[in-house]
Every structure is written in structure tokens, then in C-alpha cells.
Structure 1
Amino acid sequence: MKRYYEIVEDTQALEPFYNEYGQLCTIVHETNATYIVEKSPLKIVEHSCTYYGCGYEGRLEAAKLILGLKQMVPICVCTSLRLYMIPTCSPESDKCFWLALRHIHGIERYKQKQAKVILSKGSSLILDVHRDTLEARRAKATLLFFTLETRCGIYKIIEQKFPLWRFF
């Protein structure tokens, strides 16, 4: 059991669950480990955004503007580490899983209105979300990733030519 957790490159998914005291906690799925954290998935995403240098609200507002969405918006937790998280429903819901874009290897139909998400190293999660809905959210997260990579790529070229350009 951990009190704090930052999303890292190995983070595959944040799964909500209630502990024996009725507290909303998170099962963190990583490529080679699983942890229980005493914070909700949303609190972990918010904390991770701040940890990497930008508040959750700012990241949320930027993603909304870039994608033209109003709800269930994917979040770029850290641009330089390419950490993009996708909520499966409203982030405020106690049923919201957060999936790491880089670790989604496939999404299959499971039962009616359910999907099986295939993650890195062959692990999988069964979610109460329609496959097509998850695929659409994955596409939006990919668009956010592409847009931010393109924009930040311009700064990389300038930085290579003029290493101190930001200080003037």
C-alpha cells in the first residue's frame, strides 16, 4: 500500500476500487508490478500533472481547446515523457479507469457494452465501456499526442540552433 504515486512510463492503467473502510483507492497497473495507492485515480492524475510541472486544470483546458471537447478529455500528464492518460468515463466518477495511451495494444469487444483492453506484456482489463467508445477516446488521445509533439518539435529545432534563445 502506497500513499503517493506519480504516473511513470511503466504505468499502464489506474483502476478505481473501494477499500474495506469505504475509501476510494487505486490499483495501479504497471508493466511489471501492481500497487495499491490510497488516493483516487483522479487524485493520482492531478498529483502527477503537478509533479511534472503543470497543473491538471491547465492540462485539461489545453486539451479541451486543442481537441474541441468538453468532457472526458484525455490528459497529457508530461509532454517530454509522452505520458498521455485516457479516462474511460467522467473523471469525477468513482468508476473511472485511466488508461495510458502508450500501453494500449488493442481494444476488443467483450460482452454487450463491455470492452477488453489489451495492455503491454499481454495483460488485459475488462471495462464497462463499449469498444467503439474506447476506440474514439483513443483516437482523440492520439490526436492530442500528435498535436503536442508537432508543436513541441518546433521548439526542439530552435533549441538546437539557438541553445540560449529562451533567456533573451
Structure 2
Amino acid sequence: MIRCPCCGYLTMKYINANDGFCVDICPVCHWQFDNISNSRPNISVGPNSVSLNQAKENYKKIGAKEERLLQYVRPPTKEEFADKRIKCPCCGYLTIVDKEDKNLIQDVCPVCFWQYNTEAINNPSKIIEPNIVSLNEARQNYKEYKASSKLGSINAREPMDDELL
């Protein structure tokens, strides 16, 4: 699961991090993930009728991306909260959900689109699937593309306030 770019809860399912593709509608705020709005948060394009930034404001005020969609949303479940987070080893923002067993973490960072992998952390110069570049390359790519790879830049987004260090 990855964080919804609108409400911030862990509600979005990704298809495949290597494909850079995610299609899902958040049950908490009714945001429909799309690659364009994520990278251009001030523009109202794609499947959502409002911009990502407007949807965030609406969610804070009314609990959904738009008032007309209130009947389709629900409160987040306990599992969808991302309170305990660790730094993404690629971009350094607090986006990865901390679990007791670090080998179970399979989160994809919504800021740089790096899939957390303990083996990659222990071998930063080696390409470890499902990532398509090594952690060292991903860190360099983040400086250039604001994503772990050029392909991942279509899904990457700016960090939210609660993800900043």
C-alpha cells in the first residue's frame, strides 16, 4: 500500500513499481490516483475534477475531495494510519511505515517512488528487485529527477508537511 496523495492514509494499491503505474480510488477521501495530478498538484486534469491541492484543502474541511462525494467516503481504519514512519533510504523523507520486522516492509515511497527493501539498504550499489536501479543510483536520480528513476518521476510527488524532517 502507498499513501494517498490527498488524505495521506495508506489506502492506495500500486500495480507494479517497475511500471510506475497505480490505478486506485481512495476509500477515505475518494481521490483517484493519476500520474498527472501527482506531479502537477495545482492543475485540475485527469480523472479528478479538482486539483490535488484543492482536493487536500477540501479533505481537511469536509472529509472528501469534493462535497458531492461525501456519500462514498469512510473514516480511515487503524491499519491505514501511517503514524510510525521511517526515512526512505532514497529521498530521506518520513514516508515508509515502520514495522517490527524490517523484512516485512514493502512500502513504496510516494515522494521518490522507491520500493523499500532491506537487502538494497545493505547492498546499496546492487540492483535489488523490484527496484530497477541500485539504491546509490536512486539517490543520484532523486537529485536530478526528484524520483528514484526517470520512469518513477511520473508518480513522484512533493513531500507532505508531516513527512519533512
TM-score (norm 1): 0.28
Higher strand proportion (structure 1 or 2)? 1
Structure having the higher Rg: 1
TM-score (norm 2): 0.29
Structure with greater contact order relative to length (CA < 8 Å, sep ≥ 6)? 2
